[in-house]
Amino acid sequence: MTTIQPTLPNERYQLLDVLRGFALLGVLIANMATLSGYAFLSEDAKQAFRSYTIDHFVNSFHLLWIDGKFYSLFSMLFGIGFGLQLQRSLTTNTNFKSLFRRRLLILLFLGLCHAIFLYPGDILTVYALLGFVLLLFRNFSNINLLRVAFILLLLPLVQYAIIWAVHLAHPPVPKPAGPRMLDQMIRMFRTGSYLDIIKANIGGLIFGRYPDLFFTGRFFKVLAMFLIGFYVALNKIYAQVPEYRSLFKKVILWGLIIGIPCNLVLATIVNISDYKELKPLGIIQPLAYAYGIPALCLSYAAIIALLYDKPAWKKRLAFFAPVGQLALTNYLLQSLICVFIFKSYGFALEAQVGPTQLLLIALAIYSLQVFLSHSWVRYFRFGPAEWLWRSLTYRAWQPFRKNQISNQSIAVS
């Protein structure tokens, strides 16, 4: 029998919470197009917005600096969390595999609830499923982790080439009803019942979300960032910023040198064509993505780490920490607020708001989350979702309020 204690708040690394809080802002901005239904509009419908000109600029900014970078950052942080838990299990002699699998199963359940009842664009189910794969790499060496991550980042190119070859050999039958189906879906989200929306979410998850994740090679990309995060955790890079200062500077330099041109190419391709349309030159898109997205993601993380190491900036960036400390709760809350704004049982603004206004709405939502998070952590150890996740993982209700003292421990064979 081994006694397991969950990580206490005072054992947290605030830099990681700052990064989580920063990543949540980017994730919210990135998700607004699909949460609001704007992403499902035809180009003609988008051009009908009075803000179309500035919307085009906002979209370009989004593609260059936001799209893909923040889910990648979150994925890396998930890998770091995995490494931290693994290292902690070695010092406490706990059954890490059993505990982590139970943790993943609970995350999978939470993700499915999120996808079905709120937002089929959920990422939690992806993290949970790939987390089981991540377990296979727990004994890999540092160099092998990076090698596998590099290969995984390039696999979407191979996948694209294979899909394109199959496409040439067996051209798909055109589906002219596609745009009409999207229009019907938008109207349903705007006027349908909650049961209708749940049914649509299930269909969107099965026939939209996961096929899209496969087609774009997202599973490879997420797992690659998991492994990079695991590497960071094993080497305690997050906890030794001064010692790794030269490494951070190199990551920033090369991240910007590689990331900016690649993302400019990526933004150009997406702006001038359907990036999912299979063409010989379409290989440029996954190529630019494979190099550009992780490069900028890592440069963002390195910039924040170096700034956080400076006392003046540490106080400023600590602004993000409470949001990151409640990352799971805030991620779910973002979806809850947005579906109330855009779906029929709320303000029913589905597909009626353009990117410029969506950016402002995202900033307003995040500002509310900052206020709520700062207020919450004064009195509570965890967010509601984090508390539930921990309690189910450790099979005992965890102390919730900060003035609670727990002498509980959990016996696990």
CA distance linking residue 117 with residue 198, whole number of Å = 6
Residue range 291-300: average pLDDT? 96
Give residue-wise pLDDT tens across range 343-371: 999 999 999 999 999 999 999 999 999 99
CA distance linking residue 349 with residue 120, whole number of Å = 18
CB 99 within 8 A of CB 90: no
308 or 1, which is more confident: 308
Q: Where are the domains of the chain?
A: 2-412
CB 290 within 8 A of CB 216: no
Mean pLDDT is lowest, of 46-60, 90-104, 139-153, for 90-104
Give residue-wise pLDDT tens across range 152-168: 999 998 888 888 777 76
Q: Does the structure show a pLDDT above 70 at 86? A: yes
CA distance linking residue 338 with residue 331, whole number of Å = 11
Which of helix, strand or coil describes residue 98? helix
DSSP 335-364: HHHHHHHHSTTTT--TT---HHHHHHHHHH
Q: Does the structure show a pLDDT above 90 at 27? A: yes
Q: 380: which residues sit within 8 A by CB, 6+ positions away?
A: 387, 400, 401, 402
Average pLDDT, the chain: 90
Reported as a pLDDT band with limits 50, 70 and 90, residue 1 is very low
Q: Does the structure show a pLDDT above 90 at 296? A: yes
Q: Does the structure show a pLDDT above 80 at 411? A: no
* Residue whose structure tokens are 């809350």: 333
Q: Does the structure show a pLDDT above 80 at 287? A: yes
Give residue-wise pLDDT tens across range 239-275: 999 999 999 999 999 999 999 999 999 888 887 765 5
| pLDDT number for residue 283 | 77
Q: pLDDT > 90: what percent of the chain?
A: 77
CA distance linking residue 214 with residue 205, whole number of Å = 12
Give residue-wise pLDDT tens across range 170-219: 666 555 446 778 888 999 999 999 999 999 999 999 999 999 999 889 99
| pLDDT number for residue 113 | 98
